[in-house]
């Protein structure tokens, strides 16, 4: 039986896929995939970092963060129950991101100066990013009110240092450097590479000559102090 034009129009509208959902950014109904959930979480953390960076912890609100992330407030609370929990995750992610690039810097076959230079450059660049410094300043300000935050950051600093600790331990075991503790040595490198705390008080110079001078000074300091001459 022939279908009337009016019915054909309705049928076409019901069966044909619309493009609106693809262009509005809305997720199709149903449970999100693991990839979608991960992407949403990263989007929220990016938005929260920006809000905390611009307004500080105290003046930031979950409502403002949800608005910046373009999500409903109820969606934000499904991922993070409190602003404090969200801030802890933002701070931890800022610190752990340094580790992802540091792991590729260690190579016991390369000359000590070359590897240390790459490591210190990576740490310096990561620890002097304006947003990272802003987060660390907020961490220091809020650590007494939220002890969990300080403990989490201290634990993560050990995770960040793992590739460097392993590298230094290998050099120690092979007799190339003389150090008592690989972990203490890695902590000393990280602390000095990050500006020895001064960049939490003053904005680091972005001039390439200033950056290179600090890096080369540290490379010379550690190689002279630790290397075992053949």
pLDDT (tens digit, 9 = 90+) per residue, 81-123?
A: 999 889 888 888 887 776 666 666 667 678 889 989 988 988 8
**Between 11 and 145, where is the model more confident?**
145
- Structure-block tokens of residue 149: 């935050």
Q: What is the 3-state secondary structure (H, E, C) of the chain?
A: CCCCHHHHHHHHHHHCCCCHHHHHCCCCCCCCCHHHHHHHHHHHHHHHHHHHHHHHHHHCCHHHHHHHHCCCHHHHHHHCCCHHHHHHHHHHHHHHHHHHHHCCCCCCCCCHHHHHHHHHHHHHHHHCCHHHHHHHHHHHHHCCCCHHHHHHHHHHHHHHHHHHHHHHHHHHHCCCECCCCHHHHHHHHHHHHCCCCHHHCCCCCCCHHHHHHHHHHHHHHHHHHHECCC
pTM: 0.69
Percent over 70 (pLDDT), the chain: 81
Whether 1 shows a pLDDT value over 60: the answer reads no
Q: Are 204 and 152 in contact (CB under 8 A)?
A: no
Domains within the chain, CATH numbers bracketed: 34-81 (1.10.10.60), 91-226 (1.10.357.10)
| Cα gap 121→136, rounded to integer Å | 19
| Cα gap 218→67, rounded to integer Å | 44
Whether 179 shows a pLDDT value over 90: the answer reads yes
Contacts (Cβ under 8 Å, ≥6 apart) of 171: 108, 112, 177
| Cα gap 85→226, rounded to integer Å | 41
> Taking the C-alpha atoms of 44, 45, 49 and 51 in order, what is their torsion angle to the nearest 10 degrees?
20
Q: Are 86 and 80 in contact (CB under 8 A)?
A: yes
List, for residues 27-47, the tens digit of each pLDDT value: 445 566 878 888 899 999 999
Whether 69 shows a pLDDT value over 60: the answer reads yes
* pLDDT the model gives residue 88: 85
Q: How confident is residue 184, by pLDDT bands cut at 50, 70 and 90?
A: very high
């Amino acid at each position: 039986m022939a279908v009337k034009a009016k019915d054909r129009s309705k049928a076409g509208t019901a069966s044909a896929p619309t493009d609106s959902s693809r262009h509005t950014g809305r997720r199709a109904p149903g449970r999100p995939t693991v990839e979608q959930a991960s992407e949403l979480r990263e989007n929220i953390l990016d938005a929260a970092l920006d809000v905390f960076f611009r307004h500080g912890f105290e003046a930031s609100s979950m409502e403002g963060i949800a608005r910046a992330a373009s999500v409903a407030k109820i969606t934000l609370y499904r991922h993070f129950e409190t602003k404090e929990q969200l801030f802890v995750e933002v701070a931890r992610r800022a610190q752990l991101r340094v580790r992802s690039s540091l792991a590729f810097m260690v190579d016991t076959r390369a000359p000590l100066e070359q590897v240390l230079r790459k490591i210190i450059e990576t740490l310096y660049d990561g620890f002097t990013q304006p947003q990272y410094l802003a987060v660390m300043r907020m961490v220091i300000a809020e650590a007494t009110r939220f002890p969990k935050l300080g403990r989490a950051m201290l634990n993560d600093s050990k995770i960040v240092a793992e590739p460097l600790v392993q590298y230094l331990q290998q050099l120690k075991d092979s007799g190339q450097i003389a150090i008592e503790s690989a972990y203490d040595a890695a902590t000393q490198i990280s602390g000095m590479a990050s500006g020895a705390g001064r960049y939490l008080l003053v904005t680091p110079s972005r001039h390439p000559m200033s950056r290179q001078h600090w890096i080369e000074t540290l490379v010379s300091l550690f190689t002279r102090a630790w290397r075992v001459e053949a």
